[in-house]
Structure 1
Amino acid sequence: MESLRITGLEGKDIENYNLHESKKFSTQLRKISKPTLIVANKIDVPGADKNFVRLRERYNDMIVVPASADSELTLRRAEQKDLIKYSPGSELFDILKTNELSQKQLDALDFIKKDIMGEYMRTGVQFAINVTVFKLLKMNSIYPVANPEKLSDKKGRVLPDLVLLKDGATVVDLAKEVHSDLVKGLLYAKDLRYNLRVPTNYQLRDRDVICLINASKK
């Protein structure tokens, strides 16, 4: 229905569409049913910046993200060895052990800092994932916890889990994702960010911290 409304074809029988109308409708339907972005990888290759500009101009109705997967992999491997401090998607990284890095490795990190992050703010890999999940697919990140005071699970781990749910999902939907048994006897939930008691049909928001309350827990 949304595709029909946007294309202005609501009152016309689909069997009577001409070629232009069929293309217009199918294009809009694809955009809604299969949201897409373009990841312009290998932005670290000489001349790639010009190709990136051409891509943006050619696909000006789509999101085009410049990315360097090779740079991201380099940073993650260095971070795993405690050579640098870096969080995926971050705009910066800090070198921790300069004396353990070769000149070639230092040059590579300098290139990433100046030519990739300096020009495009980040490597683009995590950013592309975030845009896909939260903007295109309209997902919300929800943190379910068992202990409302410590914001932890039953083992004492603080905010151990993250559940991705579609925008408009309710407390019941969260319970189904965590464990199907939680739906049985589900009474309400506690929104721990705002210290509110919310009903089972409450629509969850991004970054909500939720404690599910069922008959057995009460």
Structure 2
Amino acid sequence: MSITEEQIPLLIREGRDKDVVPLLYKKVYPVLKKYIVSHNGSKEDAFDVFQDALVDFYNTIMEGTYNEKYKVFGLLFRSGVNKWINKIRRDKKIDFKDEFGDLEESNSIHDQEFVLLGKDENVLKSLFSPIGTKCIELLNCLIYTNLLMEDIMIRLNYPSVAAIKMQQQRCKQKVIEQIEKNPFLLDRLKGI
């Protein structure tokens, strides 16, 4: 029987994880291993990280907290990458410099969208420089790149998802205040 990516959560819930695990090893593990080895890791590191990510993924499904809007392979890969980044930071093996821009996976944004993001991002920076670079960076991650909260937490060094949500509210309030002070900004925003 050929298993599709969409069937994986259901099969795990039904206790048929023995059918699913080999597929996950075949599809996700090689890509994650390549990423980890190319970022100062070993094959053993890759295996350990994949095992941890797989256990977390399994628990997420069994606890009923898996969000069906995410692709299984992409979510498992992203979880592994996040675990590897956290391990590097913990072990202080290397000075991590935001590698998310180099990630290539099937769920990435198309190249044309990157060009548009750059243009819109520059407009935002010029319009909202008074709100601060930290707010601009956070809003870009939330609005334009559609990163998961956990990815934003790692990327922007926030201590928790709750801290991101609080900062998001503060930044939104700053934007509202900026627009109220300068109504012409609203017209410029409509042109984006």
TM-score > 0.5, shorter chain as reference: no
Kindly indicate whether structure 1 or structure 2 has the higher relative contact order, using CA contacts under 8 Å at least 6 residues apart.
2
Radius of gyration: which is bigger?
Answer: 1
More strand by share: 1
TM-score by length of 1: 0.22
